[in-house]
Amino acid sequence: MDARREQNGFLWVPQCRESWDAALHLGTRHIFEKNDTIIPSGQHVDQLYYIQEGQVRLSRVTPNGDEKIIWYVDAGTVFGETPFFDGLPAHSMHTSVGRSVIYTFSRQCIYGKIATNHPQIWENLLATLASKVRTLSNQICELSLTDLKSQVCKFLFHAKHKGFETCCQRGLVIIHARTSQQELASILGVHRVSVSKVLKQLKEEGVVTKYCKKEVWVADWDMLLEYATL
């Protein structure tokens, strides 16, 4: 598995920071705290959003309160472009994972000053949309064609290569994934009990020795990688 090509293709949307940094003076700066809703479901969107600092989660919540996490958008990435361009209300919601610094750009700004003076941003928008289509396609394939154990192991593989703080000690690969079992179940679209059963199997096989919200201890990285590539 080529980590450089695969690491962001399932859950984290790649960033394209350079184009937007040159146009930040045209936007409006906002601060959002942890769990603040930035774009609620059902809202019409008349501006584009750019993350300068922090991380944003895209998810959809059912009427009975179940949440399905679709992906995370890191600093250096634009979001909200689908309802902005198609004119329909947002069907999902964007939430600040922690403290985030967000710039918004009005429709007039996007089609006026940015289109005239920063044409490279349009290339950036197309690249971002293509990345998101690829991410959704990968999710459909992974969630439809692979078993849950492979999905869990692939998530840990991505988390390690995504840039989460990782260290090796006493033969362990320790990944600070910052994802609870409930969040992982939401990402994979299954019940938390199903994730717990898979983690129990991985522990019994000696692949994983500890999984909590703060960190994951992987004792057999080669076996985890084998499961992740099935």
Q: Would you report the helix, strand and coil content of the chain in percent, each value rounded to 5?
A: 45, 25, 30
Q: What is the mean pLDDT of the chain?
A: 84
Query: What pLDDT does residue 12 have?
Result: 65
Highest mean pLDDT among 67-76, 95-104, 128-137, 154-163: 95-104
Query: What pLDDT does residue 6 have?
Result: 45
Greatest Cα-to-Cα distance within the chain, rounded to the nearest angstrom: 60
Take residue 58 and report the two structure tokens written for it: 């895209």
pTM, to two decimals: 0.73
Query: Is the pLDDT confidence value at 154 over 50?
Result: yes
CB 136, CB 12: distance < 8 Å: no
The contacts of residue 131 (CB under 8 Å, 6+ apart) are 8, 13, 14
Give the span between the Cα atoms of 52 and 44, in whole angstroms.
23
Write down the residue that tokens 């750019």 correspond to. 50
Please, which pLDDT band fits residue 166 given cuts at 50, 70 and 90? low
Query: Is the pLDDT confidence value at 111 over 90?
Result: yes
Query: Is the pLDDT confidence value at 65 over 80?
Result: no
Q: What angle do CA 184, 190, 195 make, to 5 degrees?
A: 55
Please, which pLDDT band fits residue 5 given cuts at 50, 70 and 90? very low
Please, which pLDDT band fits residue 41 given cuts at 50, 70 and 90? very high
Please, which pLDDT band fits residue 4 given cuts at 50, 70 and 90? very low
Query: Is the pLDDT confidence value at 169 over 90?
Result: no
Query: What pLDDT does residue 170 have?
Result: 66
Query: Is the pLDDT confidence value at 203 over 90?
Result: yes
Structural domains in the chain, CATH included, are 3-142 (2.60.120.10), 146-228 (1.10.10.10)
CB 223, CB 208: distance < 8 Å: no
Query: Is the pLDDT confidence value at 2 over 80?
Result: no
CB 193, CB 172: distance < 8 Å: no
Cα distances (Å, whole numbers) of residue 117 to 50, 110, 121, 134, 139: 18, 10, 9, 29, 36
Query: What pLDDT does residue 158 have?
Result: 77
Give the three-class secondary structure for 216: strand
Strand order in the sheet with 100-106: 28-32, 100-106, 47-53, 78-79
